[in-house]
Amino acid sequence: MGVFDEGCMGMYNAIIPDELLNSVGVYKERLSQSALYAEMRRASNDEARQIRSWLDSKGMQFHTGSDPAQDLTDDQILEQCRMYIAALRMADEFGCDTIGIQYQQGLKDICPASDLAEGLLNNVDRPPVVDVTGQRILFQNLALPHFNEADECAGLDALITNRVWRQLGFAPETTLHDVRYGEYLPVDGNQEFVWVFEISGSVPPNHFANGYADAVSERQPPMYFPLGGGTIKGVSKPGEIVWSRVFVENGKLNCDIGRARSVALPPAETERRWSVTTPQWPIMNAILCGISRDQFMARHRSNHIQVVYAPDSASAGLALATKAAMMAELGIEVNLCGKCGL
């Protein structure tokens, strides 16, 4: 697990003590954001342009303008492409199976946001990057699980999920989201409590119905990101979800895990939800299975929640059971939450 500037965001619940992480067979490589920036500088203009051209060819849209203080610019996008290249090369150099870049603090004063790189890393279908010798494609045909805000609990969860889903033959793209808020809405003739999940910039494009063709990059808010940078924004496709949260409690690793549904809402409703949260960020409208709003708020140990799709309801139950069993075998205390369908 490669973590760039551990604790930089100030989140105590994002740090797993080494002795607990080591006990499940994962080891922590503490990396520096300054080293990531230095590696960005070694990526060439041609390499960065190739990443941008690959994304353009996939149909991804970039909402650009001419004022770098307020708009997303082509130069900012190329810097983000350099970060994507640098992150893969550093992960390869240090033997990392998962990495976490700080979402904001530290890097915001020297380069554009990390979000574009984060979303691409979590997607199996992504722009190819070669090592510095130009001889080897890095992590070919694989996602390199990235944990946003260097949340190591999400990183461990993402790594385990990636291994289990690949073994089951399911699409392994996973990501954390912020739990923003929720409201009761009519869904399929019933009043359901529909949560707003939003990641701070980028989800893997496979979480959209049409992949990159549904992805839009918008500039991160200037108040937080003076040097700009774009997101991977879109509406998460409807489908069966397994959600989870790894956390440390009473000196042990724990994991809450359950089922959810990502649902399609009328476009006007999704736009309204974006308008009262962060409109530049990707959104998932989700219904937790068998868990009320108050139960979730009384229990959940973070504003972060990990999500991954399953092909259908039966597959979701199988995948949840397999992941829970693997975690239990690793010594993680697993808590089944709500209606898991086992």
What's the whole-number mean pLDDT along residues 221-226?
92
Task: State the alpha helices, DSSP H only, in 43-148.
Answer: 45-57, 74-93, 115-121
Kindly indicate the confidence band of residue 7, based on its pLDDT and cuts at 50, 70 and 90.
Answer: confident
Per-residue pLDDT tens over the stretch 123-152: 999 999 999 999 999 999 999 999 999 999
What's the whole-number mean pLDDT along residues 1-20?
91
What's the whole-number mean pLDDT along residues 32-59?
97
Is the predicted pLDDT of residue 3 greater than 70, yes or no? yes
* CATH class, 2-337 region: alpha beta
- What is the reported pLDDT for 107? 87
Is the predicted pLDDT of residue 167 greater than 80, yes or no? yes
Is the predicted pLDDT of residue 184 greater than 70, yes or no? yes
Is the predicted pLDDT of residue 39 greater than 70, yes or no? yes
Residue with tokens 């060819």: 57
- What is the reported pLDDT for 75? 98
Q: So where are the chain's domains?
A: 2-337
DSSP-based three-state secondary structure for 1: coil
Separation between Cα atoms, residue 143 and residue 250, nearest integer Å: 33
Statement: the pTM of the whole predicted model exceeds 0.85: yes
Q: Which residues contact 252 (CB under 8 A, 6 or more apart)?
A: 20, 332, 333
- What is the reported pLDDT for 104? 67
Per-residue pLDDT tens over the stretch 58-117: 999 999 999 999 999 999 999 999 999 999 999 999 999 999 998 767 788 999 999 999
What's the whole-number mean pLDDT along residues 153-172?
98
Kindly indicate the confidence band of residue 294, based on its pLDDT and cuts at 50, 70 and 90.
Answer: very high
- What is the reported pLDDT for 277? 96
Per-residue pLDDT tens over the stretch 237-255: 999 999 999 999 999 999 9
Separation between Cα atoms, residue 179 and residue 261, nearest integer Å: 15
- What is the reported pLDDT for 279? 96
Question: Can you spell out the DSSP letters for 302-318?
Answer: SSEEEEEEESSHHHHHH
Kindly indicate the confidence band of residue 275, based on its pLDDT and cuts at 50, 70 and 90.
Answer: very high
Task: State the alpha helices, DSSP H only, in the chain.
Answer: 18-23, 33-42, 45-57, 74-93, 115-121, 152-168, 267-275, 293-299, 313-329
- What is the reported pLDDT for 9? 77
Task: Give 3-state DSSP helix, strand, coil % of the chain, rounded to 5.
Answer: 35, 25, 40
